[in-house]
């Protein structure tokens, strides 16, 4: 489940590695969705179509997608074999940051966002991520729409999962990059793992927020080390 960009295409590197043992399904989030429940229902429909026998899936969510993945696990625990949450959070504070971002996306010409991503793209990734991967990231994020980005920011203004963490009852692994410049991932992962029954934290040393593109991160290996999943 993708981040604010809303495209599952950025999972390409990990999808290739996971395909050695798994069937991998990625999603594009609906741009017009205005709440988590709508997105959760959409994910459920995708899974019903892709896995009609209802076999539980390992659900992976990155950043905003981690928040969505946790909501999905709360709504459909029977569909979740295990939950992997990367660089995510229980809420965004202060909310003024979100409202400022919403205002900016409404005012700034959308074409200028490509320039913004060009300047911030490398900072979002792990410091050792190859330039070719960063260029591909910039290419794949060109399809982000103003509507989708703004709606997902608005969803986060109402998002607070602190009181529901205790109700997540599936095996959960929180991954946190220690060089995340976007959110305090290690702090958030530690907080969440202390409240989700049986959850554990793994710190990804030397990695940034968008570390799934890094050359030395293999989610399949991490899953095998996490109890052979």
Tens digit of pLDDT for each residue in 100-153?
999 999 898 888 777 777 777 778 899 999 999 999 998 998 889 999 999 999
Read off the pLDDT of each residue in 18-42 and give the average, rounded to a whole number. 95
Read off the pLDDT of each residue in 78-83 and give the average, rounded to a whole number. 97
Q: For residue 5, give the nearest of 212, 175, 205, 164 by alpha carbon.
A: 212
| Strand segments (E) across 26-109 | 57-62, 80-86
* pLDDT tens column, 171-195: 999 999 999 999 999 999 999 999 9
Give domain limits for the chain.
8-225
Is the backbone peptide bond immediately before 94 cis, with ω within 30 degrees of 0? Answer: yes
Q: Report the C-alpha gap between 177 and 198 in whole angstroms.
A: 21
Token look-up 């946790």 returns 70
Written out in words, the top-level CATH class of the domain with range 8-225 is alpha beta
């Amino acid at each position: 489940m993708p981040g604010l960009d809303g495209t599952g295409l950025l999972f390409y590197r990990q999808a290739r590695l996971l395909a050695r043992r798994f069937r991998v399904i990625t999603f594009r989030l609906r741009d017009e969705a205005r709440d988590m429940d709508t997105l959760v229902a959409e994910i459920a429909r995708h899974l019903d179509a892709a896995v009609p026998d209802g076999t539980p899936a390992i659900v992976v969510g990155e950043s905003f997608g981690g928040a969505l993945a946790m909501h999905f696990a709360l709504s459909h625990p029977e569909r979740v074999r295990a939950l992997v949450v990367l660089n995510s959070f229980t809420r965004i504070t202060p909310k003024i940051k979100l409202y400022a971002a919403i205002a900016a996306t409404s005012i700034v010409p959308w074409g200028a966002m490509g320039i913004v991503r060009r300047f911030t793209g490398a900072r979002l990734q792990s410091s050792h991520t190859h330039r070719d991967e960063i260029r591909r990231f910039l290419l794949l994020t060109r399809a982000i729409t103003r509507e989708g980005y703004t709606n997902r920011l608005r969803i986060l203004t109402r998002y607070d999962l602190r009181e529901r963490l205790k109700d997540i009852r599936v095996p959960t692994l929180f991954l946190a990059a220690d060089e995340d410049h976007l959110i305090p991932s290690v702090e958030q992962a530690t907080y969440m793992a202390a409240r989700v029954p049986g959850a554990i934290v793994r710190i990804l040393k030397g990695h940034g927020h968008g570390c799934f593109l890094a050359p030395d991160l293999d989610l399949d290996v991490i899953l095998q080390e996490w109890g052979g999943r």
